[in-house]
Amino acid sequence: MLAVTFDEIEDAFLFVSSESYGIHRALLCLDNGEIYYQSELGGLDELDEETFDCDHFVEIPHKSDLNLGLRLVYEFTEGQMPDDFSRVQQIFSSRGAYGRFKGLLEQRRMLQKWYDFEKQREEQALREWMRENDIEIKAS
């Protein structure tokens, strides 16, 4: 079983998830534990034939792969501000929803609570993904 630090996987996950799906990629080489990065925005391509030397690898997931988008928003809203649930549904019916959602959270003084909740759920989902892929967490 391959062992990497959680921080290494989390950093790669945050990189992949920092843009729309497919813009950034990261692969964990199961042969050597190295993480290779690529960005469609240019300037970063460790997956070319000269750099990428790995026969067995797994792609680091995007937050969409872990079902951490809208479902997470609704889960938070139901648990922390149920009176705003229909408003949040309306917010997410059009473009620019996350900005408006965060504006609502600021009004309700819940923004930090949202960030804490989101981080905790991302960490849980990422650790589960690591277990499913037989990636052992080693100490940092």
Same domain, 24 and 43: yes
Q: How confident is the model at residue 47 (pLDDT cuts 50, 70, 90)?
A: confident
Q: What is the mean pLDDT of residues 131-137?
A: 89
- State pLDDT tens for residues 96-110: 999 999 999 999 999
- 74 Cβ contact list (under 8 Å, min separation 6): 85, 88, 89
Is there a single domain that holds both residue 37 and residue 87?
Answer: no
> Does residue 58 share a domain with residue 34?
yes
> CB count, 10 Å around CB of 25?
20
DSSP 8-state code for residue 110:
-
CA distance 22 to 19: 8
Asked if residue 9 lies in contact with residue 42, where contact means CB atoms within 8 angstroms, the answer is no
> Same structural domain for residues 41 and 93?
no
Do 99 and 53 have their domain in common? Answer: no
Same structural domain for residues 38 and 82?
no
* pTM of structure: 0.81
Q: Do residue 47 and residue 8 come from a single domain?
A: yes
Split into its structural domains, the chain has a count of 2
Which positions ≥6 away from 48 have C-beta within 8 Å?
A: none
| DSSP-assigned letter for residue 83 | G
Task: Find the domain containing 13 and state its range.
Answer: 2-63+125-138
* Claim to verify: residue 42 and residue 25 sit in the same structural domain: yes
Judged by average pLDDT, the poorest of 1-5, 21-25, 26-30, 61-65 is 1-5
pLDDT of residue 48: 75
Whether 2 shows a pLDDT value over 80: the answer reads no
Are 82 and 40 part of one and the same domain? no
Q: Is the domain of 21 the same as that of 50?
A: yes
